[in-house]
Amino acid sequence: MSDIVPAIDPTCIAGLIEANITDYLLSVARLPGAVLHDDSESAWVEAQVPGATFNSIVRARFQPERIDRQIETVLNHFRQRALPVVWHVGPASEPVALGEALLRHGLTFVEEEPGMALEIAQMNRAVAAPPELTIEPVRDEAGLRDWIDTWLFPVPQAERDAQFEARRRHWLEPERPMHCFLGRWNDTLVATSMLYLGHGVAAVHHVATRTEYRRRGIGSALTVRVLHEAQARGYCVGVLTASPEGHGSYHRIGFRPYCSVRRYEWEPANHP
C-alpha cells in the first residue's frame, strides 16, 4: 500500500495514467509463448493472439534522425509474423512527430482519447445504478466466460473462445491486479467493466454496454462500481482513457482530462 498515490498532482498524473495503461497492456507477457521487449528505446509485447490488447507497442523514445529505422525495426517483428498490432502514442512518446512518422510507415490512425483522472473521494455520489441493474464481480471461469461474451458481443464465437483461453489463468489468480465486473439488466447480461491496479492508481477499463441497452446509466454505474472497489482496496486516484461515447458520463462522475493517447494500427490484411 505504500506506493498508493494519495491525490492528483497535475505535474505527474499524465505519466501515471500512461504507466498504468502500459503495465496493463504488457501484462499479457505472462501468457505462454509471449514475447516481451523492453529497453530504453521501446517497449512492446507479442502474445501470438490476434487482438489489440495482445499485441501492443506501448512506448517509443526515438531520435528524429533515426526514427524511420527505429520504427521499421519494431514493426518488422509483427510484419514477419503477420500479427496485427496497435501502437500507443502517449505523453512520454518521442519525438512529437511520431504519429506522422507511423502513418508514413503504413499504420492507420484509429483514435485519440483523453487520459482522465479523479480523486475517488470527490466523485459524484449522485450517479446511481438503475433499479433494474445488478452488478457482480467475476470470481470464476464461468463468470469470466460470461464477461468475455458480454464484452465482445457480437464478435464471432471463435474469437471469444480465444480471448477466454488466453485470459482465464492470469485474470483469475488470487493476487491479480485486474478485477472484472458484470452488469445484468433484469437478469440479462448487458455490460462489463474492469479495475486494474498499478503504479499507485486504479484504472477503469473495458466499460462496455450492449447497444440496445445504452443511454440508461449502465456504463456510469459499472464505472462507479470499479471506483468503489478501488477505494475499498485503499486506492485514492482513479484513471482511464475515454472513448467519445463515454466522455460525457466520465465527466459527470468527476473525471477531468490531463493528457491524450493516440492509437495507430497495423493489420496484415491491409498489407498482403
Q: What does the DSSP assignment read for 238-261?
A: EEEE--TTTHHHHHHHT-EEEEEE
* Rounded percentage of the chain residues whose pLDDT exceeds 90: 82
Using one digit for the tens of pLDDT, what is the confidence trace for 173-203? 988 999 999 999 999 999 999 999 999 999 9
Write down the pLDDT at residue 244.
85
Write down the pLDDT at residue 198.
96
Write down the pLDDT at residue 271.
63
Domains parsed from the chain with CATH numbers: 13-114+261-270 (3.40.630.30), 119-259 (3.40.630.30)
Write down the pLDDT at residue 97.
94
Using one digit for the tens of pLDDT, what is the confidence trace for 12-48? 999 999 999 999 999 999 888 899 999 999 999 998 7
Write down the pLDDT at residue 245.
84
pTM of the model: 0.93
Cβ contacts of 68-75, under 8 Å, gap ≥ 24? 68/101, 68/104, 68/105, 70/41, 70/42, 71/101, 71/102, 71/105, 72/105, 74/42, 74/44, 75/105, 75/106, 75/107, 75/266
Rounded distance, CA 20 to CA 254, Å? Answer: 19
pLDDT over 70 (residue 69)? yes
